A and B are shown apart, each in its own frame.
Chain A
């Protein structure tokens, strides 16, 4: 049980490091990010800072989801 707890903490820590790295990547890529965002039937042009904020939010949502999915797959296969 203790070992499993440690493994879970390691996985969460690694996922969190991945998330932080991805956010660094978003900051570095901010000038290259697309500025036009689809909004309903139209598109909205946003500033570079807003584009980075949107991309960062996307990363914050997606990376934990992917990590959780991978963790569930691994945990399921071990069982």
Chain B
């Protein structure tokens, strides 16, 4: 298990690198719909990380969490590009459905196999997972609505992609709150780790549920900044939103699945 601080620094570095590359590339095949379409692959990645942590891949050579994540990224991009190529042959530009569909297939099988192998799975623990999925968007809508009043330009540019990113950041917080406060595993997702470090410096120790407000604020501020970047080049704004949501949702998924299924 890598230290949370190292994970946080790595996530920020990967995010900055991705946005930098996106700014360097002239045009990106990325749209508003691409951002939520990354969701199923992100859940699959979270599931694979959990499988690796509980020892499913023990004894399989060269399989580590970084190699698994890079392989998954390559496979997802490969499938997406192949299907996009076929869609363009038929002059059908909306290719995000293929990214979402292939990710859904992978996520269902990976998470399904985790449920099959899980030792501590009970209906109550499964209900906590369902609750996190429902609660996160409900909490995220309010702050995003306020952002639309305060900084309309950001919301007008990123639209549903921005809301999705805020939801992913809030999900990170909900997953961590369930893991630490309810299930008592002490695991925290990446954004929560960063917030805990930040509030720790001012000697405040709020509970996981109290930190949810900070998550919503972080999500909204990040989306506002990415919306500002989107004024310069919209593709970069979308790429940043996608990276933010992948990091937050992936980390939250891994924490929630580990805590709820394996204790």
Hey, which bits of chain A sit against chain B, CB under 8 A?
6, 9-10, 13-26, 28-29, 31-34, 59, 63
B79 within 8 Å of A by Cβ?
yes
Number of A-B contacts (CB under 8 A): 88
Q: Please report which residues of chain B, range 33-77, place their CB below 8 angstroms from some CB of chain A when the two chains form the complex.
A: 40, 44, 48, 51, 56-57, 59-60, 68, 72, 75
Interface residue SS majority, chain B: helix
With a cutoff of 8 Å between Cβ atoms, the chain B residues found around residue A10 in the complex are 92, 97
With a cutoff of 8 Å between Cβ atoms, the chain B residues found around residue A6 in the complex are 90, 92
Instruction: Evaluate whether A25 and B79 lie within 8 angstroms (CB atoms) in the complex, with A10-B97, A34-B116 already known.
Output: no
With a cutoff of 8 Å between Cβ atoms, the chain A residues found around residue B92 in the complex are 6, 9-10
B221 within 8 Å of A by Cβ?
no
Question: Looking at the complex, which one of A17, A21, A28, A59 makes contact with B48 (CB distance below 8 Å)?
Answer: A28
Hey, which bits of chain B sit against chain A, CB under 8 A?
40, 44, 48, 51, 56-57, 59-60, 68, 72, 75, 79, 83, 86-87, 90, 92, 97-99, 101-110, 112-114, 116-117
CB distance from A13 to the nearest CB of B (A): 7
Find the A residue at minimum CB distance from B51. Answer: A32
Interface residue SS majority, chain A: helix
With a cutoff of 8 Å between Cβ atoms, the chain B residues found around residue A23 in the complex are 105
